[in-house]
Structure formats: C-alpha cells, structure tokens
Chain A
C-alpha cells in the first residue's frame, strides 16, 4: 500500500525538494528560492528550515532516528602543503606580533600554506553529514539508484553487498574503506530509460532473437538442416543447391557492400569539421545514427554466428559450400579485425584489438596533421594574397592543398588483403563492440540497448568521499564527508542560511 506521506511526494504546490531524479523534483529545485525571513519569528524560521531540509535529507528516516544521529561537531580538514611544512615550522606566524613587524605572513609576499581554496569553511552546510554515511543514501549518491527510497529498496531486497557480504540494513553506517556493490541489473533498471510499449508486454514475452533475420542469415538455417539430412545419406538436389549458393553469395556481397558504404560514410562524417555541423551534438547524433544502422545489419549475424558451427570444425563437411562460406563470412565480420591480425602477427586477441585501434588513431592523427598543414598553407596563402594582389584566389588553394603536399609516412594506411580496408573494419568493429557490450534484449525490463533515463544529467554528480567504479556498479566509501575552506562535501540544494537555521533547530535550544 502506498504510504500517505508518498501521495503528494513531488507536489508542485508544496514544492518540496527530494532526493530523486524526478522531473517534477527538478522543477522544484529550479524554483527553490531563499526564504523570506524578515516577518517570521526565530522559531518559525528554524521550523521552516528544518522541515525544508528534512524533506530532502533522508525524508524516509524517522525524526527521532535522525535526532540520535545528529552531531553538532562537524568534521573538517585542511590541506598542509609539504613544501611549506618543510621550510617553516610555524614560528614565522608569531614573529613580530604586536612588536613592529608589518608584513603579515598570510599576505602574498610571505610564506603560505598552498592547496586550499580561499574563503571561509562552510561548517553550516554540513548539518546532514551523518546521513551521508547511511548505506541507502550512499547508494543514491553513487548514482546507482534514482532515489534514496529506491536505494533503500535495493538494500532491503538483498541486491546490495558490503565488502562482498549481503547487507539488508539500509541504515547500516558505512565505515571508511567499506566497498558496496549493487546488482548490475538493478542499477541498469534504475538509471535506464523506460521500456516503450505496453507495461509488461516485452518483459512477459520470451526474448525474440532476430525477429526479422537479414537476408544472409536465412540460407544458413536450411543448410544446417541439410547437413542433418546428409548424415542420413539423403542427397539434396544439386541444381536447387547451386541457385541457393548463388543467391546467398549475392546476399553476402550486398551486405558487405552496404556495410562498407556505411563505414565509409561514418568516416567521412567523422572527418568533417565541427563548423560544418550546427553543433557538436548534431555531429555526434549523425555518427551515432550511422553506427546504429551498422549495428542493425550486424545484429542478426552475431546471433546466428553464436549458433553456427565454427569453420574449422571437422564435423562440417567441405562440400557444404554455402554453409561454410556463410560461417566464414560471419566469423570474418565478427572477429576479423582482431583475429585476422592476431593470426598473421601472432598477437593475442586483445593485442590485435589494440593494434587496430592504434592504427586507426595513427590514421586519424595523420589526417589531422594533413588538415592542419592545409590550414596553415591556406593561411599563408591568404597572407600572401593580402600582401601580393596577383596571388591565386584562396578557395582553390584550400581545396587543392590537402591531397598533394607532403604525404607523411603514416598518411597512407596499409590496406589489408581482405574485403574491407582496415579503417572500415575499425568502424564496423566499433559497432560490433557496442553491440556486444550493450545488446538489444527484449527480456530486460528497461529499454535496450541501454540508454540513460531522461532528466538524469542535472542530478549526476559524485561527491569526493566516494570512489565509484560504474562498470561493476561498486563504490568505496573512502572517508566521512568533510568541510574544507570554501567547500562542503555534503550535497544539499539549500542556501547556507537555511542550513544554519536547521542546524540551530537540532541544537535543541529553541
């Protein structure tokens, strides 16, 4: 049953700010204003501050529980510069006090302790520092859950471990050095975009593998069936088979051509200057769209490749050319980039991967140098035109310079002997890696391929007292949050006035 206090959780009228990534909450944070205090009694001021801050900081924790956690002593730290420590023992700060020495040591000319921000230490903003030690709130701060309440649910449902052991108490107070880890599926569900369509429709249905198999995948299935038949001694009609083979080959070639075109287009788009696009985001979107198209072409191949027999498997008969060629193509498409290089150069797969990317990086670097050369030449040419009126018009020089002059040794990439040049392979390989790492899977309860949910970015920050590894969805609570000169590590949306009033409320001198 929904609790009464949750009914108007993100009410626009009350405008409470909460620990969630909700868009209503975002709006409430946006319109949060400093309170008008002038017409209020001190009690009213403190009451208002307390209720506003408590509706954000651990709103799910009962007030008496928080009262026991509150501590008026605030942890703070200051950086001591080793250079300063080595050269001065601190006595210089006392010299001449009241007896004539004019230049103050904390002024710029004197020795100074470096490495701290200027400004006061905001102790007032640290009221809710003890809350940040709680496991559920730390999970929310590590960006593993979209609200503190959801984080609490993760703990209660047994999805969280602390130092490798299951922890089901959301109120567990983390000790410095504790590592907590949340089950990855929970994190992806909490932070990912919602699944489209009817509720539960995709989740209930069994995962559909390659709903519309691409053309090349089709002949592979009958080929497997044929193989089984062949074992029984039944010979298929050779004429039908020949047409099959021809059609499959044609499909393969078409697919390859399409892939090459897409990869080529990706590279040309990538090579364009940012100025050609309206913004960097537009370029990124276009590139992502190209990769998406490649991924969609590759997807059925990958899934069928997983099921297909390996080409070097002895059980595959040599005669079954369609099947063999298909699997070869697939293995080529799937693994060619790292594996072919690995075969030829005796590198490990990872090493080959690295090599491909280093080649790619080199190629791009050479392109960049080329472009810069062209630019400098262009500039030189424009300079020449300004001084010399008889010089050729600049646009023609600009267009002609990039290709002919000084091809650097890395400019011409080595072209591999296979169907695709390596720089196209690198693009396809990139798409393939994305597809492997973030596959489309309708059995998941969130939208796949995974993408971040809407309105997440304004809430995405990781305080310094945590060290987070997002890939394994784990974080280490390094130390307690502290106040430093100019910085307070407790994330709070409230102005210092409000925090201080809340602090005063909990001092119990009302």
Chain B
C-alpha cells in the first residue's frame, strides 16, 4: 500500500494535494512570500515556516502533541517553578516553604514537616572558631559551650580550616565561587548575639550541645515498686533499667558545664564559675591528651622495630591462642592450619570498615 496522505482517506481534493506538495518544497530555494501556488489559507507564509521548522519536510504525519503531563511540566517551569531556576533572591528557596504559606522558611519538603534545612556555620563563624582554638588556645569544650556548637563540630571545623589554610599557603586553587554560591542558598548562622524579648543581646545556641543518646533499653515502660518517701533520682531510674545503663549525668559530653551551673546555684559568682569552668575544661583536655600519648607510647613499647635498607620490620608479641573457637577471631593474625582464608570466596565483603 502506498503511503497515505493525511486527510486523503475521505476525498482526495486538488487543494489538499497542493498543500501537501507545498510542504515538501524546500523553502531555501524559494522564499515563502514568493510562492506562486494559489493559496486560500489566511497566512500562507507563517504556515509554511512552521511546517519547515517543527517537522521534517518529508514527514507525512502531523507533529506529535505534548502529553498533558509534559504540558503541565513546561507550564510549571515557566510560571510557578521559575523562581527556583536562578536563586536571585540570594536566600534559601525551598519547595516546602513556597508551597505552604506560613510554614517555616527552611521547610525543604512539603510533606515532611520533621525535616528542616537547619542553618550551617557561616564562613566568618568558622573563622572565629578556628581562631578561638588555634590562636587563642581555648579548650574545645569551652568554645563549644560559648557558641552552642557541638564539640565534634568544633573539632571538624578546626581540622578542615587547617587544611584550607595550608592549601591557601601553598597557593592551591580553592572553590571560593562555589562556597559563596552555597552560602546564598543554605541558611547561615553567624554565631552572633541576638536580641531576645527583653531587648538584651544574647547568644543563641547553634545546636543542642548536651544531647545524650537514648538507649533502646530505656524506651520501654517500666513499673518499679518503691516506697513513697523515697527520692527516686535519675541514677535510680537508670539502675532500674539495667546495670549497664548509665544515668544521664554520666553521659553528658561536657560535665564541667553541669558543675558550673551547680556552682552558680550554690552561690558562686558567675565570673568565678566561668573561670573555674575554663580551668576544668583545659585540664580535662590535657588529661585526655596525656592518656592518648601514654597509650601510643605503650603500644610503641610493645613493638620492636628493626630497620633494614629496604624494610622496617615490626615485631610484636602475640598470643597464638587468642584466635577464638573457629580460629577466625576478628583480631587474630596470621594464617593457621585448618582455618583457610575466605577472602576469595564469593559474597565476601571486602569493603574496609574504617580508614585510619
């Protein structure tokens, strides 16, 4: 069967044939306005250009129409979605916030009210933390308590700032433009004191710094018979849950902070309590560093290093019996008769579990 011309099934009229032929004729040879074919359509020139641009000239089918969804998508991009294209406002621009009027400006997803884009430390804030630790030599815990930033975050900021400064000194390229762009899209916290309701300037915590992990064993409801006159404290509650459960007081990341508050409650001057706090945190950090050093020394003392031209041999005494019942205890070393290595076996996971 020869190829069908659209509309020809009902009747093949000369005008239709003409219009089909017209679509075939390449416009590059003849400008559209100088077409000599008798035309009875309202705007022949525009029609022919559309034909030439949207469909290939030999196509016999009408152009495929956009699906409803695609039309919606294009529509959305041009109207409501256009504000997401470029971040011209230079401030967080999330779907959740734009869909729910009156919602938190940092609501990222419309349907998840429990996830907010929480502020990150701004560049000056990071610089300030680095300076406090590396230049002024303040204890990490004190910097953490002062700014309401988690101790682990303080350490991470300092660690990465050190790398940044080293790269800067070595004149390696840094992603300044990228950092600046991100800082306009993500909410920032400059760690500056803000005015509260009473009009006083006060530092507001960046994040909870005294959070404790909730042990699964403490998540059940417990009935403990006890006398009415008894002072049933947090420590008692922990003991009731199990011998291995620590009371919150022993889980605090900065116990010196509790001591400081206790001192203030007992009538100590606030400045004295702060000084004492600084002293105690510095001492605890020194003690920790000392313990680390001793542990490294003890580890080193167990080893004997023998340097040759090519290798450094390290000898360590090892208990060959400490290999567990199967001979494959995790920290056992060496190959043993009867306990083949399984590392080539199918399905063995060889992804490292930690990187030193």
- CA–CA, A86 and B252, complex, Å: 12
Would you call B89 and A470 a contact (CB within 8 A)? Answer: no
B216 touches A115 (CB 8 A): no
Decide if B76 touches A165 in the complex (CB within 8 Å).
no
Verify if A438 is at the interface (C-beta below 8 Å from B). Answer: yes
**CB of A256 closer than 8 Å to a CB of B:** no
Is B176 touching A437 in the complex (CB atoms < 8 A)? yes
Instruction: Determine the residue in chain A with the shortest Cβ distance to B349.
Output: A171
B85, B157, B231, B352: the one contacting A91 at CB < 8 Å is B231
Does any Cβ of A come within 8 Å of B214's Cβ? yes
Q: Are A472 and B261 in contact (CB under 8 A)?
A: no
| Given A90-B233, A91-B233, A464-B207, CB of A495 within 8 Å of CB of B93 | no
Cβ < 8 Å to A, chain B residues 169-188:
173-179, 181-183, 185-186
A125 contacts B90, CB within 8 Å?
A: no
B288 within 8 A of A: no
Q: In the bound complex, how far is the Cα of B83 from the Cα of A30, in angstroms? A: 13
Contact partner of A177 (CB less than 8 A), chosen from B67, B73, B152, B254, is: B152
> A165: which of B153, B231, B237, B355 is its contact (CB, 8 Å)?
B355
Interface residues on B, range: 35 or more
List A contacts of B185 (CB < 8 A): 452, 456-457, 460
User: What is the total number of residues of chain A having a CB less than 8 Å from a CB of chain B?
Assistant: 96
**CB <8 Å contact, B211 and A472:** no
Decide yes or no: A284 and B258 within 8 Å by CB, A461-B186, A476-B160 being known contacts. no
Are A184 and B175 closer than 8 Å at their CB atoms? Answer: yes
Complex Cα spacing A494 to B113, Å: 10
Chain A 450-494 interface 0/1 with B at a Cβ cutoff of 8 Å (1 = within): 111011111011111001111111101011001010111111111
Q: Which B residues touch A188, using CB under 8 A?
A: 175, 178
Specify the chain B residue showing the minimal Cβ separation from A164.
Answer: B355
**Residue on B nearest A23 in the bound complex, by CB:** B77
- Given the complex, which residues of B lie within 8 Å of A495, measured CB to CB? 111-112
Contact status A438-B176, CB under 8 Å: yes
Name the A residues within 8 Å of B108 (CB-CB). Answer: 458, 461, 491, 493
- Among residues of A, the one whose C-beta sits closest to the C-beta of B115 is A491
Q: In the complex the two chains form, is B99's CB within 8 Å of A30's CB? A: yes
The distance from the CB of A223 to the nearest CB of chain B, in whole angstroms, is 29
How long is the Cα–Cα vector from A82 to B112 in the complex, in angstroms? 31
Q: Is A85 within 8 A of B261, CB to CB?
A: yes
Chosen A-B contacts, 18 in total, with CB atoms closer than 8 Å, are: A13-B69, A30-B81, A79-B209, A85-B261, A90-B232, A115-B208, A169-B352, A191-B181, A284-B88, A460-B117, A467-B121, A469-B157, A470-B182, A471-B179, A472-B174, A486-B114, A492-B115, A494-B109
20 other A-B residue contacts (CB within 8 Å) besides A89-B231, A470-B178: A23-B77, A26-B84, A32-B111, A83-B261, A91-B231, A175-B354, A187-B175, A280-B89, A437-B174, A450-B178, A452-B178, A456-B87, A464-B118, A469-B163, A471-B175, A471-B176, A472-B175, A484-B211, A491-B115, A492-B112
A interface list, Cβ under 8 A from B = 12-13, 23-24, 26-27, 29-30, 32, 34, 73, 75-83, 85-87, 89-91, 94, 99, 115-116, 122, 125, 143, 162-163, 165, 167, 169, 171-173, 175-179, 184, 187-188, 191-192, 279-281, 284-285, 437-438, 449-452, 454-458, 460-464, 467-474, 476, 478-479, 482, 484, 486-496
